[in-house]
């Protein structure tokens, strides 16, 4: 009985414990529920967790921010021919990691490597075997690229690859700049290159040289953005709101450069560079009435499209290199002597040598020509004669004229990195030698500014590379006008005497410039042979080729308007006289200038034409329209109507240019012998041909025979020859 009572007591205690534990659990659960309920209520009201707004976090998760890129402005020549324009290139890459899947569990990696390699080989300049090596790396990689063969792709190549629907094949888009004319005023026009912002991963074109750099802000425009809401597959929600700002495209530049004149100058300079190997070579053609530069170039140079030669020619020698000009500087000292009343052409002096400040100055032939009149000092390029005139003027007066010519000062031309040069003028010897271009360092554009005084009766004008800046809607933002620099340096009467002296330089009896004579043409010149300071110190370099040879010419003499100035430093293969070498550029270029002048500056405008729109037209109609616009039609394909054309409708181009017309169907390889590199590039864009160039100049050989069927991705090797 006692045991039974004890058992009952134990059961009662156990029941009590269970009840107590159950009650405690109920209370705990109730408290937990109240905490969660309170938390959810708090979150639903405040919509914040740990200080972060949940609504904003959700919006960020499903919000897509997209940068809308502004189009960089185009750079045109004076007649509206495109020199630099916006473009895009693409880099293809392959995702290999099997973790790359989408929301539907579809693979976003390369599934069939054999098929992928086979298809990519149809477009890329790589073999199937080479592509397979990239797709099977030795080390595990999430993704791989295909080297240079998979970069720099055109939009046409991208679309072709996308049409294969290959899983795991992706593209990186990079803004690019198209320079269709190759070596064309490369240091003047400059270069724009892609720069990536590592925070946003956005790529932007930035001007790094020349006008591209100087006008980078105007050309760049402003990027816009678009903000939209997307679903889990990154697709925009049908009722989702979008916010954003449209991009503002960049302004365009219309230059003073003339396409035909610049192209001709490049050709002539390349010939001299190839044959005589000068260390450097510069040439400028300018309308000295207005200051507008019609053509300007240098050697060494580079191709902004391929970047060939860029590593060795970063400097713009027209504004960033200073040098002793030599005897072409005598144009300035003669002007000063005449204007200051210290030039008497009939007075005589003894040539050969003169001692000033304890130093002896010699004529270039050392012995001189005996006693001669001052009227022959300039044509004979007598150092003694010019130093004597400087002595007559006096250092104070001569310095005033040097300042009036802005020697030692920047011109302010629209090119980056201009240097002011150096003027040594302390001792009487320093002062004397400046009269024939020693002891003074100038830039090419400083000299062009000084020479402009010959076209304006002593009034200098600033060199000018840009005619106008035009907004994307076609409105002129800024029109550049002729800018007079300082007060007139000398009078019309002085100009007349200077020009007569420049004409006498061509005199075969005593002039130094007979090699530049062009019978029947109204020109005047001045030659120069400047010594080069020894980089190791101690005077000047010796040797027949260790000089800066130069020539400046003006035409016509009765209404002087055009000036050409050429410099050549240290030709390494001096197989001809310096005058003969420079004349091979000077005389053909001067002939082109005279032709321009004879047509009252209308020859360039008459040589341009507007490209018609022929897309959708029958072949016969398109050919007729092209011919009517003074273009040469080249029909590609076996179709009956034009699907696309190589030149955009409405753009200006030179008369006689080829207009490639794609009709679709089977494409046949045309005979491209004699074509320019730009024309072959246009063919590549239109057909998808992969072109490999060697050499420079026009086409000499083509690897695909004329008449052979071609497809997008076909490999064409082209040999160019000057």
Distance CA 632, CA 577 (A): 42
Residue 615 has pLDDT above 80, yes or no: yes
Burial of 632 (0-12, 13-18, 19+ CB in 10 A): middle
Model's pTM, two decimal places?
Answer: 0.75
CATH number of 259-604: 3.40.710.10
Q: Active site residue: 220, 252, 280, 327, which one?
A: 327
pLDDT confidence band for 345 (50 / 70 / 90): very high
Please give the pLDDT value at position 606: 44
pLDDT confidence band for 239 (50 / 70 / 90): low
What is the full DSSP assignment across 261-301? HHHHHHHHHHHHHHHH-EEEEEEEEEETTTTEEEEEEEES-
Burial of 687 (0-12, 13-18, 19+ CB in 10 A): buried
Side-chain half-sphere exposure of 165, counting CA atoms within 13 A: 0
Domain ranges of the chain: 2-61, 66-254, 259-604, 609-721
Dihedral sign computed on CA atoms, order 371, 373, 377, 383: positive
Please give the pLDDT value at position 221: 87
Q: Which residues of 550-574 are buried (b: 16+ CB within 10 A; e: fewer)?
A: bbbbbbbbeebbbbbbbbbbbbeeb
Is 259-604's fold the same as 609-721's?
A: no
Task: Give me the mean pLDDT over the 386-400 stretch.
Answer: 97
- DSSP-derived 3-state class of residue 44: helix
Distance CA 302, CA 273 (A): 13
Residue 28 has pLDDT above 90, yes or no: no
Nearest to 570 by CA among 283, 273, 312, 266: 273
Please give the pLDDT value at position 511: 95
- Give the best-scoring range by mean pLDDT among 119-128, 384-393, 586-595: 384-393
**What do you get for the CA distance between the two ends of the chain, in Å?**
129
Please give the pLDDT value at position 68: 75
Q: Which two tokens stand for residue 328?
A: 């072409």
Q: Give pLDDT tens digits for 622-654.
A: 888 887 787 888 888 888 888 888 888 888 887
Level-2 CATH architecture, domain 66-254: Alpha-Beta Complex (3.90)
Task: Give me the mean pLDDT over the 667-692 stretch.
Answer: 85
Task: Give me the mean pLDDT over the 61-73 stretch.
Answer: 71
Residue 604 has pLDDT above 50, yes or no: no
CATH number of 609-721: 3.30.10.20
- Measured at the CA of 105, the angle between CA 101 and CA 111, to 5 degrees, comes to 60
| Mean pLDDT value across the chain | 87
Residue 50 has pLDDT above 60, yes or no: no
Residue 233 has pLDDT above 50, yes or no: no
Check: CB of residue 261 under 8 Å from CB of residue 85.
Answer: no
Residue 605 has pLDDT above 50, yes or no: no
Q: Which residues make Cβ contacts (< 8 Å) with residue 217, sequence separation at least 6?
A: none
Please give the pLDDT value at position 3: 60
Residue 225 has pLDDT above 80, yes or no: no
| Residue 607 appears among annotated catalytic residues | no
């Amino acid at each position: 009985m006692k045991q039974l009572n004890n058992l009952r007591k134990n059961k009662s205690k156990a029941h009590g414990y269970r009840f107590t534990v159950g009650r405690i659990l109920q209370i705990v659960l109730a408290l937990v529920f109240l905490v969660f309920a309170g938390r959810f209520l708090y979150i639903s009201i405040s919509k914040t967790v740990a200080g972060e707004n949940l609504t904003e976090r959700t919006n960020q998760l499903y919000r897509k921010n997209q940068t809308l890129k502004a189009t960089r402005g185009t750079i045109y020549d004076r007649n509206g021919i495109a020199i630099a324009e916006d473009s895009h290139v693409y880099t293809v890459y392959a995702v290999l990691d099997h973790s790359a899947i989408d929301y539907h569990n579809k693979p976003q990696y390369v599934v069939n490597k054999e098929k992928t390699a086979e298809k990519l080989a149809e477009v890329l300049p790589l073999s199937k075997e080479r592509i397979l090596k990239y797709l099977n790396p030795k080390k595990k990689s999430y993704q791989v690229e295909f080297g240079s063969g998979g970069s720099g792709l055109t939009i046409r190549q991208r679309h072709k690859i996308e049409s294969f629907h290959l899983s795991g094949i992706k593209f990186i888009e990079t803004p690019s700049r198209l320079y269709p004319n190759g070596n064309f005023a490369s240091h003047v026009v400059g270069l724009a290159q892609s720069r990536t912002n590592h925070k946003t991963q956005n790529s932007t074109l930035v001007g790094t040289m020349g006008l591209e750099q100087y006008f980078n802000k105007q050309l760049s425009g402003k990027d816009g953005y678009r903000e939209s809401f997307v679903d889990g597959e990154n697709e925009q929600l049908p009722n989702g709101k979008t916010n954003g700002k449209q991009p503002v495209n960049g302004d365009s530049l219309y230059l003073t450069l003339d396409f035909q004149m610049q192209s001709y100058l490049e050709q002539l300079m390349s010939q001299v560079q190839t044959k005589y190997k000068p260390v450097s070579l510069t040439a400028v053609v300018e309308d000295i009435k207005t200051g507008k530069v019609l053509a300007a170039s240098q050697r060494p140079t580079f191709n902004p499209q391929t970047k060939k030669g860029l590593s060795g020619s970063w400097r713009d020698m027209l504004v960033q290199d200073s040098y002793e000009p030599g005897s072409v500087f005598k144009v300035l000292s003669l002007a000063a002597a005449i204007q200051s009343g210290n030039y008497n052409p009939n007075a005589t002096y003894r040539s050969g040598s003169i001692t000033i400040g304890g130093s002896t100055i010699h004529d270039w032939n050392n012995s001189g020509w005996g006693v001669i009149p001052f009227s022959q000092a300039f044509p004979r390029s007598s150092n003694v004669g010019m130093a004597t005139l400087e002595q007559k003027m006096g250092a104070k007066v001569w310095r005033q004229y040097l300042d009036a010519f802005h020697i030692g000062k920047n011109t302010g031309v629209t090119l980056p990195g201009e240097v002011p040069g150096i003027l040594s003028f302390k001792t009487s010897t320093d002062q004397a030698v400046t009269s024939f271009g020693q002891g003074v360092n100038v830039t090419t554009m400083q000299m062009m500014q000084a020479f402009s005084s010959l076209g304006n009766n002593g009034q200098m004008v600033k060199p000018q590379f840009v005619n106008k800046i035009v907004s994307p809607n076609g409105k002129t933002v800024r029109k550049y006008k002729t800018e007079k620099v300082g007060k007139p340096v000398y009078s019309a009467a002085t100009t007349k005497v200077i020009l007569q002296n420049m004409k006498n330089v061509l005199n075969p009896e005593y002039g130094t410039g007979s090699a530049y004579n062009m019978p029947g043409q109204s020109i005047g010149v001045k030659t120069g042979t400047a010594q080069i300071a020894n980089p190791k110190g101690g005077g000047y370099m010796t040797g027949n080729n260790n000089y800066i040879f130069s020539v400046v010419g003006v035409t016509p003499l009765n209404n002087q308007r055009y000036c050409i100035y050429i410099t050549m430093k240290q030709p390494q293969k001096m197989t001809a006289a310096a005058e003969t070498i420079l004349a091979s550029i000077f005389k053909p270029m001067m002939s082109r200038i005279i032709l321009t002048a004879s047509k009252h500056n209308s020859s360039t405008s008459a040589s341009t034409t507007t490209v018609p729109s022929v897309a959708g037209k029958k072949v016969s109609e398109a050919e007729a329209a092209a011919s009517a616009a003074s273009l040469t039609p080249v029909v590609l394909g076996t179709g009956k109507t034009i699907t696309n054309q190589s030149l955009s409708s409405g753009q200006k181009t030179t008369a006689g240019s080829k207009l490639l017309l794609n009709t679709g169907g089977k494409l046949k390889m045309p005979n491209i012998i004699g074509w320019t590199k730009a024309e072959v590039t246009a063919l590549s864009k239109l057909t998808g041909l992969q072109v490999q160039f060697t050499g420079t100049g026009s086409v000499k050989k083509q690897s695909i025979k004329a008449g052979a069927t071609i497809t997008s991705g076909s490999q064409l090797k082209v040999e160019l020859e000057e």
